[in-house]
Amino acid sequence: MSNLKKEEINQEVFDLYDAYAHNRIDRRTFVEKLSVYAVGGITVASLMSAMMPDYVSTRTISEDDERLSSEYVMYNSPKGGGEIKGLLSIPADKKGKVPGVVVVHENRGLNPYIEDVGRRAAVAGFISIAPDALTPLGGYPGNDDDGRAMQSKRNRDEMLEDFIAAYEYLKNHPDCSGEVGVVGFCFGGWISNMMAVRIPELGAAVPYYGGQPTAEEAAKIKAPLMLHYAGLDERVNAGWPAYEAALKANGVENTAYFYPETNHGFHNNTTSRYDEAAANLSWERTISFFKEKLK
């Protein structure tokens, strides 16, 4: 990764990256606008290096970690994209059946970061599946730029069906207790919220900085929610007050955490948006929540 420290990067650069990562500006425009912040020995190249993901040195759990077994599986999503690929991870030391967790990627497909999160969930004691909504288009292409472009070609409601089908796959897996939760990031946060809307028997949902359902949709939620928001993420946070009011009005169990001075994507340890303290605390809270709600 870049030698630049997060503290050396102007907040407006993080805001620019958020616009770029969510397809509001293209790569050329992003690079051009970065030049404004290339001052005092900081170059555009160093800023790009800091903002782009590093999947080589940031992996926390290897594919052959003895604490789990991982393999790619295919499952059927008849209302979505058909046959969908996912990374299935199972704790090696499990005693009997264990609860399940669906891990939902951002807006760029099943990249190494999300695969790593799937393995983290398994190490914590859950059988997990991390689907790739890009499967109908050939799967995650190996880089996030192309992944975003590919994912923009899919209908998000059809992708929601792919993750609902993953829930059904996991619920009926012979190693699963039948209790299944979901955790998702960015786009995956919206999916997590919407799975709570669509699946009355969902065990628990943990959206990270995810878009919120409408008040009418929120009224259908039965699952307990734990929601994580980045303090500096004005775009997503703007939707929380109305969502909170709808959850309260309908008696939906929920706990929301806001992590001060953090950016959208703070859990993702592959870019400079990563905040180690907030990421670790939020993940500890997430795992404790799943252990409490999924039996």
Give the pLDDT band (50/70/90) at residue 4.
confident
**Closest alpha carbon to 197 in 152, 258, 154, 246:** 246
Return the number of other C-beta atoms located less than 10 Å from residue 46's C-beta: 17
* Helices (H) then strands (E): counts for the chain: 11, 8
Give the pLDDT band (50/70/90) at residue 8.
confident
Residue carrying structure tokens 């503290």: 7
Structure tokens at 118: 């799937």
Contact yes or no for 198/168 (Cβ under 8 A): no
pTM of the model: 0.95
Distance CA 283, CA 275 (A): 12
What pLDDT, on a 0 to 100 scale, did the predictor assign at position 164? Answer: 98
What pLDDT, on a 0 to 100 scale, did the predictor assign at position 49? Answer: 86
Structure tokens at 209: 């900085």
Give the pLDDT band (50/70/90) at residue 243.
very high
- Whether 1 has a pLDDT exceeding 50, the answer reads no
As a whole number of angstroms, the longest Cα–Cα distance in the chain is 59
